[in-house]
Chain A
Amino acid sequence: MIAYLIRRILYAVPILIGVNLLTFALFFVINTPDDMARMQLGMKRVTPEAIDKWKQQRGYDKPLMFNVQAAGTEKLTDTIFFRKSASMFVFDFGYSDDGRSISREILTRMLPSLVIALPTFVVGLLLYVTFALLMTLFRGTVLDLAGVTLCVLLMSISSLFYIIGGQFLVSKLWHWVPISGYAGGVDSLRFILLPVLIGIVAGIGSSSRWYRTIFLEEVGRDYVRTARAKGLSELRVLFKHVLKNAMIPILTGVVAVIPLLFMGSLLTESFFGIPGLGSYTIDAIQAQDFGVVRAMVFLGSALYIVGLILTDISYTVVDPRVRLQ
Chain B
Amino acid sequence: MSFKLVMLWTDVMIFLLLAVALGGAWWIRRRPHLLLPWQRLFKSRVGMVAMLVLSLFVVIGLLDSLHYRVALPEKNSNGQTVYAAEVLSVFDTLVGDLRSHSEKTYSAPLAVYLYAKESMETADGKILRDYPRLKYGGAHLRDPQSEHAADVIKRSLYGVFAGWLGGVLLALLIVSFAAARSRTSARAWVEARQNTPLNAMLATLVLLAMLFGLAANLAGAYHLLGTDKVGQDVLYLSLKSIRTGLVIGTVTTLVMLPFALFFGIAAGYFRGWVDDVIQYLYTVLSSIPSVLLIAAAVLMMQVTIEKHGEWFASSVERADLRLLFLCLILGVTSWTGLCRLLRGEALKLRELEYIQAAQAFGVSSLRILSRHILPNVMHIVLIAVVMDFSALVLAEAVLSYVGVGVDPSTNSFGTLINNARLEMGREPMVWWTLASAFGFMLVLVLAANLFADAVRDAFDPHLNRTGDA
Q: Within 8 Å CB of A281, what residues of B?
A: 292, 295
**Inter-subunit contact B307/A31 (CB<8 Å):** yes
**Inter-subunit contact B292/A293 (CB<8 Å):** yes
* Closest A residue, CB atoms, query B401: A160
**Inter-subunit contact A19/B287 (CB<8 Å):** yes
**Inter-subunit contact A266/B402 (CB<8 Å):** yes
CA distance A300 to B289 in the complex (A): 6
Q: Within 8 Å CB of A182, what residues of B?
A: none
* Closest A residue, CB atoms, query B417: A160
Is B365's CB within 8 Å of the partner chain A? Answer: no
**Inter-subunit contact B288/A301 (CB<8 Å):** yes
Is A22's CB within 8 Å of the partner chain B? Answer: yes
Question: Which stretch of A36-44, A65-73, A112-120, A311-319 is in the interface?
Answer: A36-44
**Inter-subunit contact A263/B398 (CB<8 Å):** no
Q: Given A152-B450, A267-B398, A22–B445 Cβ distance below 8 Å?
A: no
Question: Which stretch of A90-98, A122-130, A282-290 is in the interface?
Answer: A282-290
Is B201's CB within 8 Å of the partner chain A? Answer: no
Q: Interface size bucket, B side?
A: 35 or more
**Inter-subunit contact B288/A300 (CB<8 Å):** yes
CA distance A182 to B340 in the complex (A): 41
CA distance A133 to B280 in the complex (A): 37
Instruction: Specify which of A23, A31, A158 is in contact with B438 (CB 8 Å cutoff).
Output: A158
CA distance A92 to B286 in the complex (A): 23
Q: Within 8 Å CB of A288, what residues of B?
A: 299, 302
**Inter-subunit contact B307/A159 (CB<8 Å):** no
Is A156's CB within 8 Å of the partner chain B? Answer: yes
**Inter-subunit contact B421/A156 (CB<8 Å):** no
Is B237's CB within 8 Å of the partner chain A? Answer: no
Is B404's CB within 8 Å of the partner chain A? Answer: yes
Instruction: Specify which of B289, B303, B404 is in contact with A304 (CB 8 Å cutoff).
Output: B289
Q: Within 8 Å CB of B296, what residues of A?
A: 23, 26-27, 293-294, 297
* Closest B residue, CB atoms, query A172: B424
Instruction: Specify which of B300, B307, B390, B442 is in contact with A27 (CB 8 Å cutoff).
Output: B300
Q: Within 8 Å CB of B283, what residues of A?
A: 15, 18
Is B306's CB within 8 Å of the partner chain A? Answer: yes
From residue B280, how far is it (CB to closest CB) to chain A in Å? 7
Q: Within 8 Å CB of B302, what residues of A?
A: 39, 288
Q: Within 8 Å CB of A48, what residues of B?
A: none
Interface string of A186-205 (1 = CB under 8 A from B): 00000000000000000000
* Closest B residue, CB atoms, query A304: B287
Instruction: Specify which of B295, B297, B424, B441 is in contact with A158 (CB 8 Å cutoff).
Output: B441
Is A296's CB within 8 Å of the partner chain B? Answer: yes
**Inter-subunit contact B280/A156 (CB<8 Å):** no
CA distance A271 to B404 in the complex (A): 16
Q: Within 8 Å CB of B413, what residues of A?
A: 158
* Closest A residue, CB atoms, query B390: A156
**Inter-subunit contact A285/B402 (CB<8 Å):** yes
Q: Within 8 Å CB of A304, what residues of B?
A: 286-289
From residue A273, how far is it (CB to closest CB) to chain B in Å? 14
CA distance A304 to B288 in the complex (A): 7
Instruction: Specify which of A35, A152, A167, A293 is in contact with B446 (CB 8 Å cutoff).
Output: A152
**Inter-subunit contact A160/B299 (CB<8 Å):** no
Is A155's CB within 8 Å of the partner chain B? Answer: yes
CA distance A173 to B145 in the complex (A): 30
Q: Within 8 Å CB of A14, what residues of B?
A: 280
Most buried by A among B287, B307, B449: B287
Q: Within 8 Å CB of A260, what residues of B?
A: 289
Q: Within 8 Å CB of A229, what residues of B?
A: none
Most buried by A among B401, B446, B453: B401
CA distance A297 to B299 in the complex (A): 13
* Chain A binding surface, main DSSP class: helix
Is A168's CB within 8 Å of the partner chain B? Answer: yes
Number of interface residues of A (CB under 8 A): 47
Interface string of A142-161 (1 = CB under 8 A from B): 00000000001101111111
Q: Within 8 Å CB of B390, what residues of A?
A: 156
CA distance A271 to B64 in the complex (A): 33
From residue B262, how far is it (CB to closest CB) to chain A in Å? 20
CA distance A316 to B253 in the complex (A): 37
From residue B284, how far is it (CB to closest CB) to chain A in Å? 4
CA distance A268 to B394 in the complex (A): 16
Is B54's CB within 8 Å of the partner chain A? Answer: no
**Inter-subunit contact A285/B403 (CB<8 Å):** yes
Is B205's CB within 8 Å of the partner chain A? Answer: no
Is B316's CB within 8 Å of the partner chain A? Answer: no
Interface string of B428-446 (1 = CB under 8 A from A): 0000001000100110011
CA distance A300 to B283 in the complex (A): 13
Most buried by A among B286, B299, B421: B299
**Inter-subunit contact B401/A35 (CB<8 Å):** no
**Inter-subunit contact A43/B306 (CB<8 Å):** yes
Q: Within 8 Å CB of A266, what residues of B?
A: 291, 398, 402
CA distance A305 to B285 in the complex (A): 12
Interface string of A66-110 (1 = CB under 8 A from B): 000000000000000000000000000000000000000000000
Instruction: Specify which of A15, A35, A160, A286 is in contact with B403 (CB 8 Å cutoff).
Output: A286
CA distance A35 to B309 in the complex (A): 13
Is B293's CB within 8 Å of the partner chain A? Answer: yes
**Inter-subunit contact B288/A19 (CB<8 Å):** yes
Is B304's CB within 8 Å of the partner chain A? Answer: yes
Is A170's CB within 8 Å of the partner chain B? Answer: no
From residue B108, how far is it (CB to closest CB) to chain A in Å? 17
**Inter-subunit contact B289/A282 (CB<8 Å):** no
**Inter-subunit contact A15/B442 (CB<8 Å):** no
Q: Given A161-B438, A290-B299, A300-B292, A30–B304 Cβ distance below 8 Å?
A: yes
From residue B328, how far is it (CB to closest CB) to chain A in Å? 13
CA distance A156 to B450 in the complex (A): 10
Instruction: Specify which of A159, A290, A301, A305 is in contact with B398 (CB 8 Å cutoff).
Output: A159
CA distance A22 to B332 in the complex (A): 13
Is A254's CB within 8 Å of the partner chain B? Answer: no
**Inter-subunit contact B280/A15 (CB<8 Å):** yes
**Inter-subunit contact A18/B280 (CB<8 Å):** yes
Chain B residues within CB distance 8 Å of chain A: 280, 283-289, 291-293, 295-297, 299-300, 302-304, 306-307, 309, 390, 394, 397-398, 401-404, 413, 417, 421, 424-425, 434, 438, 441-442, 445-446, 449-450, 453
Rank and list the top 6 A-B pairs by shortest CB-CB distance, nearest first: A18-B284, A156-B446, A300-B289, A301-B287, A156-B445, A31-B303
Chain A residues within CB distance 8 Å of chain B: 14-15, 18-19, 22-23, 26-27, 30-31, 35-36, 38-39, 43, 152-153, 155-161, 164, 167-168, 172, 260, 263, 266-267, 270, 281-282, 285-286, 288, 290, 293-294, 296-297, 300-301, 304-305
* 5 A-B pairs whose Cβ atoms sit less than 8 Å apart in the complex: A35-B303, A156-B445, A285-B295, A293-B296, A301-B287
